[in-house]
């Protein structure tokens, strides 16, 4: 699945001008505006993590002519998000809504898309289903596990033992895939590599994240990465204890001048720019837009002082392979309970992987 | 807390109509003046940070009340707060500071969703399933907070800290099951229980976009007002709140009163959890932990633990939340703006309580002294 | 590390030292305030504002200790405001506290935006474990000076409440305003000062969060620690030394969850993460029923 083929899934070809005709009871200054983009964030938009990555990318759109951006932060995954999005439609006249948290999709985005068929909704997780979900809804999502695979490769060659620690928020597929990909990346260069994971249970809980980092270091890991909303605590704590680090969500390189290896980053701007271009050309943005290294939706943070020369060479090679579509999950693989979970080579976007509920053999941790 | 602070100044027993009217005028005028005063205070804050207060208040109006959509937005957000406000108010009247509504809401919602799984999968009609779910949620909440009341009465365990601890434990229980035993395998990136499905979800009230939780909250508020002010139970409860020792000496069943009050509170919070599941999420997941239980505490205090007054106060909260989004979008101000406004507004409203009985204009002519 | 039991125990020791300090300062501040007969539930907001102010000042001046002072100052202002408002007749201190929580948190979030990303200078820790060749133990014994300040302060307060004139005045004000007035004590003034001082301590607790451990500023930093610390005062029965013990216990219990996962006990981590709450409740239920609990309550508290 490439960006190009996905674009052809676009079902609606509604002109942007037509969208903008939505009546506006309370006009904001929008004399020549024909697209009003509303974006909702689940946390503060300057959290130095997940939300900030979106906010920075969408800020680039503000400069484009004909686009107004309205933003709302700290919107919980309750009916508050439904009402916030609906308020953007009713009061600001938004005709493109970006919902950036997993839990926004069902039931909120789906219900609202049915209620407002003239408004386009796009949600940041690969959940849109062509058969069951409204045609004016859609998904976009870069598969960050590819970049975490690269992290694993670099960490495998930047540590002696290959013991890697992972501070994770919740055992959901996108997190599990990042953990498994770090392991597979590390194992591709060091067959003895292991990943030890600690779940904090929350997306943002700095004290417990610091405790988890310390516990991992005390158990002997040599490098640490994480999947929480704001990785600053994890990176700083590990750097303070002389442990190497890999980042997540945004560049944490400045936080770890000594031990930073590399980090997994989204390039949301590729997607948001594509949406803007579609809109400018009078096209409806694609309903399903996913990708990774092959279509410029990811990057790895420039290598830090923690990365060895061999690690850099191997990681660069891994990136090139991923750009060519090299699969990460290659059969046969067992989970850490002994069951075969990968029996063949899976394409990096195979839907089977979206339902991942296992940790591979070599990962110490449990998802319940 | 004592009865003096927990109840509004009681009208004189043989209240003549004009005295009642004066009291009512006082009860409306003082909060209104407080609203204006806090708006002015917040204007100073806005001017200091270089924002336009006029635009700000226009947007509050636009976002909270200014259109049918906005007002319904406020009402929808108020719905759970009425119920969690009641969950704090009822034990408060009997002298208990029970801050565990959050836990009762979460567990009530979770058990309601869990109860729905077998019923929905065996195709039982929504007319049976939904009441069973509601009863389950209320019963769970009642038992959860009732346990706190029982601990207080029988073991002398402080109810404030116990109910706070129990809230954290309730959230852990819910997360444990939602991400483990009762997880719907298809709820990939948002671990949840099995969805009850659209056919079982409670829709909006006819002609509105607001779910039935609002109606339930208003009905319960009226019912509990009657219970607390017009029945022997309410009288005994308030007497216990005023002086537990004296109440005991009078032969009142203080322990039973405490446990029952806590159970009523838990049932209110559990019902709020049921509506979150049946009307909003369609399943139980971590989004049940939305802080409604804690916001309910402040709602109850501002309403002076009066069940009826909780309704407008909850709507005010809902309106501020609804308007907060518009403020962010139009003025580019952070989400925390509304927190600051809320803080100032609530402090001023609470300070205004000191003025009851101080304005001569509201005092009956016969007695010029302070109440 | 090979011995899992030892690993968990060392982690709990480290957790007690690292995590307990903010609980200590807030609990001590609240103990002081409540001993005078006033409740300040708003210390969660004070803690958050203290954390933000400390981080901002440390970042802007390059001096972490200036940040600590500024946090104390911000806490004093909030405490004084609370103390002033609550002396007005008919105003309920519990309710005002909750409103002040919203106000303090709001201010911190509002003005804290620009300080989430930058790195501010941290408070230097004292490497008491440098003698050990066990890195985990050495880390566990890296102790922040504020930790010792908290303990010394608790012992001092415990002593002062019993043995000084000021301690007596505060306790008398808290137990019976009428008798304090009869002695010519200005009840309002004592409570005002005790509330302001309580705010100062809670602000310092916030400085520890942002400048020592976990050593960042963001909006999720406290996540209710201030509220929990206020509740711990009841658990500690208004005794400063017991408040310290409660804080240490809470910190140690909080380390159970992550460290059990680190040694491979991973099932049911939600309950292990909730260990501090579960254990505290169990202890309360076991130790309750004794008459001494009721005896320790300051008689003037509006919430017992």
Give the CATH number, domain containing residue C150.
1.10.3470
The residue whose two tokens read 């050309």 is: A281
C139: nearest CB among A47, A208, A241? A241
Inter-chain touch C303–B1, beta carbons under 8 Å:
yes
Q: Which of B182, B190, B278 to mutate to probe the A interface, most A CBs <10 Å?
A: B190
Distance CA A297, CA B31 (A): 54
Residue A294 banded pLDDT, cuts 50, 70, 90: very high
Higher pLDDT, A41 or A62: A41
The pLDDT of residue B327 is 93
**CB burial of residue C278 (10 Å; 0-12, 13-18, 19+):** middle
Higher pLDDT, B367 or A201: A201
Q: Which two tokens stand for residue B265?
A: 């509170």
Residues of chain C above pLDDT 70, percent: 96
The H or E element containing residue A298 is strand A298-300
- Once rounded to an integer, what is the mean pLDDT over residues C204-220? 95
Domain limits for position A8: 3-143+267-295
Q: Which two tokens stand for residue C255?
A: 């380390």
Residues contacting residue B267 through CB under 8 Å, at least 6 positions apart: B138, B139, B141, B142
Asked if the ipTM is above 0.90, the reply is yes
Answer whether residue B161 shows pLDDT above 50.
Answer: yes
Euclidean distance between the first and final Cα of chain C, in Å?
Answer: 46
Answer whether residue C291 shows pLDDT above 60.
Answer: no
Q: Which two tokens stand for residue A63?
A: 């400069």
Q: Among B169, B167, B140, which residue's Cα sits nearest to residue B274?
A: B140
The pLDDT of residue A4 is 38
Distance CA C61, CA C58 (A): 5
Q: What is the DSSP string of A315-326?
A: HHHHHHHHHTT-
Is C288 a domain residue? yes
C88: nearest CB among B160, B342, B354? B354
Distance CA A88, CA A41 (A): 13
Q: Looking at the 3D structure of chain A, how many domains does it have?
A: 2
Is B314 a domain residue? yes
Q: Looking at the 3D structure of chain B, how many domains does it have?
A: 1
Inter-chain touch A102–B70, beta carbons under 8 Å:
no
Q: What is the DSSP string of A262-316?
A: EEEEE-HHHHHHHHHHHHHTTPPPPSEEEE-GGGT-EEEPPP-TT--HHHHHHHH
Q: In this complex, is the C-beta atom of A77 within 8 Å of any C-beta atom belonging to chain B?
A: yes
Q: Which of B1, B101, B144 to mutate to probe the C interface, most C CBs <10 Å?
A: B1
Residue C265 near residue C275, CB atoms below 8 Å: no
Residue C134 banded pLDDT, cuts 50, 70, 90: confident
- Once rounded to an integer, what is the mean pLDDT over residues C243-249? 95
- Out of A51-60, A85-94, B169-178, B186-195, pick the least confident: B186-195
CB < 8 Å to B59, chain A: none
Is B334 a domain residue? no
Strand, coil or helix: C215 = coil
The H or E element containing residue C157 is helix C145-163
Partners of residue A266 on adjacent β-strands? A298
Is B133 a domain residue? yes
**A319: CATH:** 3.40.50.2300
Alpha-carbon torsion, ordered C197, C202, C204, C206, to 10 deg: -160
Answer whether residue A15 shows pLDDT above 50.
Answer: no
Is C139 a domain residue? no
Residue C221 near residue C236, CB atoms below 8 Å: no
How big is the CA angle at B29 (ends B26 and B34), to the nearest 5 degrees? Answer: 120
- pLDDT per position as a tens digit, C21-56: 999 999 999 999 999 999 999 999 999 999 999 999
Q: Tell me, yes or no, whether A316 and A190 share the same domain.
A: yes
CB < 8 Å to B165, chain C: 231, 277-278, 280-281, 284
CB < 8 Å to C267, chain A: 366, 368
Distance CA C52, CA C74 (A): 10
Find the chain A residues whose C-beta atoms sit closer than 8 A to any C-beta of C: 43-44, 46-48, 196-202, 204-212, 214-220, 229-230, 232-233, 236-237, 240-241, 254-255, 364-366, 368
- Once rounded to an integer, what is the mean pLDDT over residues B244-266? 91
Q: Tell me, yes or no, whether A153 and A9 share the same domain.
A: no
How is residue B95 annotated by DSSP? Answer: T
Residue B295 banded pLDDT, cuts 50, 70, 90: very high
Domain limits for position B114: 78-318
Q: Tell me, yes or no, whether A275 and A257 share the same domain.
A: no
Q: In this complex, is the C-beta atom of C282 within 8 Å of any C-beta atom belonging to chain B?
A: no
Is C105 a domain residue? yes
The H or E element containing residue C232 is helix C225-235
Answer whether residue C225 shows pLDDT above 80.
Answer: yes
Q: Tell me, yes or no, whether A84 and A128 share the same domain.
A: yes
Residue B336 near residue A47, CB atoms below 8 Å: no
Residues found in chain C: 304
Is B352 a domain residue? no
Inter-chain touch C215–A237, beta carbons under 8 Å:
yes
How is residue A295 annotated by DSSP? Answer: G
Alpha helices in B122-253 (DSSP H): 126-150, 159-178, 213-230, 232-242, 244-249
The H or E element containing residue C191 is helix C187-211
Distance CA B337, CA B350 (A): 20
- Once rounded to an integer, what is the mean pLDDT over residues C238-252? 94
Inter-chain touch A236–C119, beta carbons under 8 Å:
yes
Distance CA C304, CA C302 (A): 7
Residue A198 near residue A166, CB atoms below 8 Å: yes
Answer whether residue A187 shows pLDDT above 90.
Answer: yes
Q: What is the mean pLDDT of chain A?
A: 88
Q: Tell me, yes or no, whether A78 and A139 share the same domain.
A: yes
Find the chain B residues whose C-beta atoms sit closer than 8 A to any C-beta of A: 62-63, 66-67, 69-70, 73, 76-77, 175, 179-180, 185-186, 188-191, 195, 276, 280-282, 285-287, 290, 321-322, 325-326, 328-330, 334-335
Is B326 a domain residue? no
Is B53 a domain residue? no
The pLDDT of residue A283 is 83
Q: In this complex, is the C-beta atom of C105 within 8 Å of any C-beta atom belonging to chain B?
A: yes
Residue B189 banded pLDDT, cuts 50, 70, 90: confident
Q: Which of C93, C98, C280, C294 to mutate to probe the B interface, most B CBs <10 Å?
A: C98
Is B295 a domain residue? yes
- pLDDT per position as a tens digit, C2-23: 688 888 898 899 889 989 999 9
Q: Tell me, yes or no, whether A159 and A291 share the same domain.
A: no
CB < 8 Å to B328, chain A: 71-73
Task: Write out the E strands in chain C.
Answer: 126-127, 142-143
Asked which of A295, A311, A342 is the last residue of a domain, the reply is A295
**CB burial of residue B204 (10 Å; 0-12, 13-18, 19+):** middle
Residue B1 banded pLDDT, cuts 50, 70, 90: very low
Is C101 a domain residue? yes
Residue C294 banded pLDDT, cuts 50, 70, 90: low
CB < 8 Å to B276, chain A: 78
Q: Tell me, yes or no, whether A102 and A183 share the same domain.
A: no
CB < 8 Å to A251, chain C: none
Residue C295 banded pLDDT, cuts 50, 70, 90: low
In the complex, which subunits touch B with 3 or more CB pairs below 8 angstroms? A, C
Q: Tell me, yes or no, whether A139 and A149 share the same domain.
A: no
Q: Tell me, yes or no, whether A84 and A117 share the same domain.
A: yes
CB < 8 Å to C285, chain B: 151, 155, 157
Q: What is the mean pLDDT of chain B?
A: 90
Is B157 a domain residue? yes
Residues of chain A above pLDDT 70, percent: 91
Answer whether residue C289 shows pLDDT above 80.
Answer: no
Distance CA B229, CA C97 (A): 28
Strand, coil or helix: A131 = coil
The pLDDT of residue A22 is 38
Answer whether residue A169 shows pLDDT above 60.
Answer: yes
Q: Tell me, yes or no, whether A188 and A316 share the same domain.
A: yes
Answer whether residue B186 shows pLDDT above 90.
Answer: no
Domain limits for position C92: 4-124+144-293
Q: What is the DSSP string of B302-345?
A: HTTT-HHHHHHHHHHHHHHHHHHHHHHHHH---THHHHHHHHHH
The residue whose two tokens read 């201010």 is: C107
Q: Among C22, C221, C279, C119, which residue's Cα sits nearest to residue A208?
A: C221
């Amino acid at each position: 699945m490439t960006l190009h083929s996905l674009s052809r899934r676009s079902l609606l070809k509604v002109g942007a001008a037509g969208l903008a005709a939505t009546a506006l009871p309370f006009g904001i200054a929008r004399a020549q505006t024909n697209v009003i983009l509303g974006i909702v964030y689940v946390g503060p938009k300057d959290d130095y993590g997940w939300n900030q990555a979106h906010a920075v990318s969408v800020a680039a759109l503000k400069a484009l002519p004909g686009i107004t951006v309205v933003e709302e932060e700290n919107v919980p995954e309750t009916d508050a998000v439904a009402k916030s999005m609906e308020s953007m439609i009713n009061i600001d006249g938004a005709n493109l809504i970006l919902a950036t948290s997993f839990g926004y999709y069902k039931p909120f985005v789906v219900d609202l898309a049915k209620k407002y068929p003239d408004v386009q909704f796009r949600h940041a997780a690969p959940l849109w289903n062509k058969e069951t979900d409204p045609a004016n809804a859609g998904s976009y999502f870069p598969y960050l596990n590819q970049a975490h695979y690269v992290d694993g490769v670099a960490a495998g060659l930047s540590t002696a033992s290959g013991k890697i620690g992972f501070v994770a928020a919740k055992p959901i597929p996108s997190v599990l895939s990042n953990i498994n990909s770090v392991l597979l990346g590390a194992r591709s260069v060091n067959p003895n590599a292991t990943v030890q994971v600690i779940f904090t249970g929350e997306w943002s809980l700095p004290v417990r994240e610091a405790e988890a980092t310390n516990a991992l270091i005390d158990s002997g890991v040599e490098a640490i990465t994480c999947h929480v909303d704001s990785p600053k605590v994890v990176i700083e704590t590990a750097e303070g204890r002389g442990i190497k680090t890999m980042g997540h969500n945004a560049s944490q390189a400045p936080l770890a001048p000594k031990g930073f290896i590399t980090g997994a980053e989204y390039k949301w701007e590729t997607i948001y720019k594509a949406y803007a271009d579609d809109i400018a050309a009078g096209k409806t943005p694609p309903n399903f837009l996913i990708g990774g290294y092959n279509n410029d939706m990811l990057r790895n943070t420039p290598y830090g002082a923690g990365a060895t020369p061999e690690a850099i060479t191997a990681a660069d090679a891994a990136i090139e392979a991923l750009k060519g579509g090299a699969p990460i999950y290659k059969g046969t693989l067992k989970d850490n309970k002994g069951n075969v979970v990968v029996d063949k080579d899976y394409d990096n976007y195979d839907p089977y992987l979206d339902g991942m509920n296992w940790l591979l053999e070599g990962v110490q941790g449990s998802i319940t | 807390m004592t009865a003096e602070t927990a109840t509004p100044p009681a009208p004189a027993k043989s209240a003549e109509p004009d005295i009642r009217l004066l009291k009512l005028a006082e009860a409306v005028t003082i909060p209104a003046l407080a609203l204006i005063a806090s708006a002015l205070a917040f204007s100073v804050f806005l001017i200091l940070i270089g924002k336009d207060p006029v635009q700000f208040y226009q947007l509050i109006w636009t976002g909270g009340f200014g259109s049918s959509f906005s007002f319904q937005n406020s009402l929808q957000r108020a719905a759970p707060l009425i119920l969690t406000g009641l969950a704090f108010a009822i034990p408060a009247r009997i002298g208990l500071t029970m801050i565990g509504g959050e836990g009762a809401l979460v567990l009530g919602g979770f058990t309601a969703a869990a109860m729905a799984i077998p019923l929905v999968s065996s195709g039982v009609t929504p007319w049976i399933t939904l009441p069973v779910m509601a009863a389950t949620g209320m019963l769970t909440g009642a038992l959860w907070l009732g346990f706190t009341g029982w601990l207080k009465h029988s073991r002398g365990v402080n109810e404030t800290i116990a109910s706070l601890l129990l809230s954290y434990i309730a959230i852990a229980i819910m997360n444990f099951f939602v991400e483990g035993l009762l997880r719907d395998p298809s709820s990939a990136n948002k671990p949840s229980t099995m969805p009850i499905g659209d056919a079982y979800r409670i829709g909006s009230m006819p002609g509105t976009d607001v779910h039935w939780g609002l109606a339930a909250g208003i009905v319960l508020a009226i019912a509990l007002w009657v219970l607390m002010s017009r029945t022997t139970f309410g009288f005994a409860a308030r007497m216990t709140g005023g002086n537990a020792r004296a109440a005991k000496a009078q032969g009142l069943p203080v322990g039973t009163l405490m446990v029952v009050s806590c159970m009523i509170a838990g049932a209110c919070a559990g019902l709020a959890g049921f509506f979150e599941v049946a009307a909003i999420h369609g399943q139980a997941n971590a989004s049940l932990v939305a802080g409604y239980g804690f916001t309910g505490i402040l709602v109850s205090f501002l309403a002076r633990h009066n069940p009826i007054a909780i309704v407008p106060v909850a709507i005010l909260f809902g309106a501020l939340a609804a308007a907060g989004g518009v403020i962010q979008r139009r003025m580019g101000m952070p989400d925390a703006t509304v927190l600051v406004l809320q803080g100032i507004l609530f402090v001023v409203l609470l300070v205004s309580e000191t003025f009851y009985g101080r304005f001569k204009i509201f005092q009956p002519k016969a007695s010029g002294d302070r109440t | 590390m090979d011995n899992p039991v030892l690993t968990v125990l060392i982690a709990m020791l480290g957790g007690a030292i690292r995590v307990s300090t903010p609980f200590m300062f807030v609990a001590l501040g609240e103990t002081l305030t409540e001993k005078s007969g006033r409740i300040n539930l708003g210390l969660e907001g004070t803690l958050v504002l203290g954390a933000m102010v400390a981080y901002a000042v440390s970042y802007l001046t390059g001096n972490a200790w200036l940040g600590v002072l500024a946090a104390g100052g911000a806490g004093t202002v909030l405490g004084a405001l609370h103390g002033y408002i609550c002396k007005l007749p008919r105003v309920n201190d519990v309710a005002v506290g909750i409103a002040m929580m919203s106000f303090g948190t709001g201010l911190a979030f509002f003005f804290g935006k620009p300080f989430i990303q930058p790195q501010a200078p941290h408070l230097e820790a004292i490497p008491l474990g440098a003698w050990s060749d066990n890195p985990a133990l050495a880390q566990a014994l890296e102790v922040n000076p504020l930790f010792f300040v908290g303990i010394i302060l608790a012992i001092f307060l415990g002593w002062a409440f019993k043995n000084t004139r000021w301690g007596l005045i505060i306790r008398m004000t808290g137990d019976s305003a009428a008798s304090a007035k009869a002695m010519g004590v200005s009840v309002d003034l004592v409570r005002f000062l005790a509330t302001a001082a309580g705010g100062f301590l809670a602000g310092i607790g916030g400085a520890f969060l942002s400048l020592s451990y976990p050593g960042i500023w963001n909006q999720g930093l406290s996540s209710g620690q201030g509220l929990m610390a206020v509740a711990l005062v009841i658990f500690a029965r208004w005794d400063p030394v017991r408040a310290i013990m409660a804080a240490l216990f809470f910190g140690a219990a909080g380390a159970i969850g992550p460290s059990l996962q680190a040694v491979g006990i991973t099932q049911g981590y939600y309950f292990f993460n909730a260990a501090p709450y579960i254990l505290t409740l169990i202890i309360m239920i076991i130790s309750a029923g004794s008459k001494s609990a009721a005896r320790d309550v300051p008689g003037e508290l509006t919430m017992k």
